[in-house]
Amino acid sequence: MPPQLVLSLFPGIDILGMGFEECGFTIVRGPDVLWGGDIRTFSVPAGRFDGVLGGPPCQAFSRLSYMVRQNGYEPKFGNLIPEFERVCFEAQPQWFLMENVREAPIPAVAGYEVFSCLLNNRQLGEAQNRVRRWSFGTRDGAVLMIDTVALESIEFEYAAVGGSQERFPIKLNSDGTKKSTLRAHQSRLPFNSKSASAFRELCRKQGLPEDFDLPGFTVAGKCKAVGNAVPMAMARALAKAVREYVESMAINTGIGA
C-alpha cells in the first residue's frame, strides 16, 4: 500500500484509528472534547492528508434523543456532522470515512460521492449486537467492500454502552398499555457500574486486549470512553476495506503499491 497519512476527527480514545494503524495507515489525531479540544476552531490545509475518518457525536440522532427532548432538553452535543464535512472539504483527501448511528444523515462534501451502509458487529463474527452507519466518500464513487462472515456467532450479547441506562422487564398498566422499560440506573448492569470488572467486561465486548487501560481516567470515565467507541472488529474490517480501495487506486493510476 502507498503511504497513507490519515486525519482522525472526534477520535476519543480512537479505537477506529487503532484499527487503521494496525493496517499500515499513519494516523494524526485531531481535537476532541475528551482532551479539551474543539472541532469548531480546527482547520487543516488542503492536500496534506490522504484520508479523513471520524465519528461525530451521535447523541443528536440516537433513538434516546427523543426521550431527552420529550423532557425539555437537548442532547449535550448537537449536530457536528457539518464540522466533519467542513474539515473534509478543507483537507481535500482522496477519501473520507464517517461512522455514526443508523439514523444519522449521510455526509455531503462537494466533489465527493458517498457510499453508505449499515454494518452490525455480528456480521464480523462477533457476539456483540452493535449496528453502525458507515459513509465512505471518494471522487469516483467507489463502493467499500467489507468482508463479513457467512454465519453469525451462536452467542449473543447486547451492545456495550458507556451510559447509565438499563432495560427492565416489560410491565403493563391497568389499561394494558406498557410501562416504561428504560430508566436510569448506575449499578445493576456490569457495564454501568463503577467497578474494575465492569471496565474489563466492556473491553472484552469491544474486542480490546486484556491489558488495555486508560491511565488517569476514573473507572466510570473508562467505561464511558470504551462504551462509546467503535468495536475493534469493526475498526479492523473498515481499515482492511479502505486499504483494498487505496491499493486498487494505486494500481489503476500507475502508482506502485
Residue 247 in domain: yes
Q: What pLDDT score does 164 carry?
A: 41
Q: What pLDDT score does 166 carry?
A: 38
Note whether 234 and 123 are same-domain residues. Answer: yes
Note whether 87 and 171 are same-domain residues. Answer: no
Q: Crossing angle, helix 232-253 and helix 15-22, to 10 degrees?
A: 50
Note whether 46 and 139 are same-domain residues. Answer: yes
Burial 42-53 (b: 16+ CB within 10 A, else e): eebeeeebbbbb
The reported pTM is 0.83
Q: Is 238 helix (H, G, I), strand (E, B) or coil?
A: helix
**H helix runs in the chain, sequence order:** 15-22, 65-70, 81-91, 196-205, 219-227, 232-253
What is the CATH number for 85? Answer: 3.40.50.150
Note whether 119 and 143 are same-domain residues. Answer: yes
pLDDT, block means (10 residues), the chain with 257 residues: 95 97 98 94 97 89 54 65 98 98 95 98 97 97 96 93 46 52 39 73 94 93 92 98 96 70
Residue 148 CB neighbours (<10 A): 12
Q: What pLDDT score does 253 carry?
A: 79
13 neighbors 226 (Cβ within 8 angstroms): yes
Residue 257 in domain: no
Q: Crossing angle, helix 196-205 and helix 219-227, to 10 degrees?
A: 10
Residue 158 in domain: no
C-alpha to C-alpha distance for 208 and 193, rounded to whole angstroms: 19
Q: What pLDDT score does 121 carry?
A: 97
**Structural domains of the chain, count:** 2
Nearest to 191 by CA among 210, 163, 232: 163
Note whether 86 and 131 are same-domain residues. Answer: yes
- Which residues constitute the domain of residue 122? 5-153+230-251
Q: What pLDDT score does 75 carry?
A: 55
Q: What pLDDT score does 13 carry?
A: 96
Question: Cell triple for residue 222?
Answer: 473508562
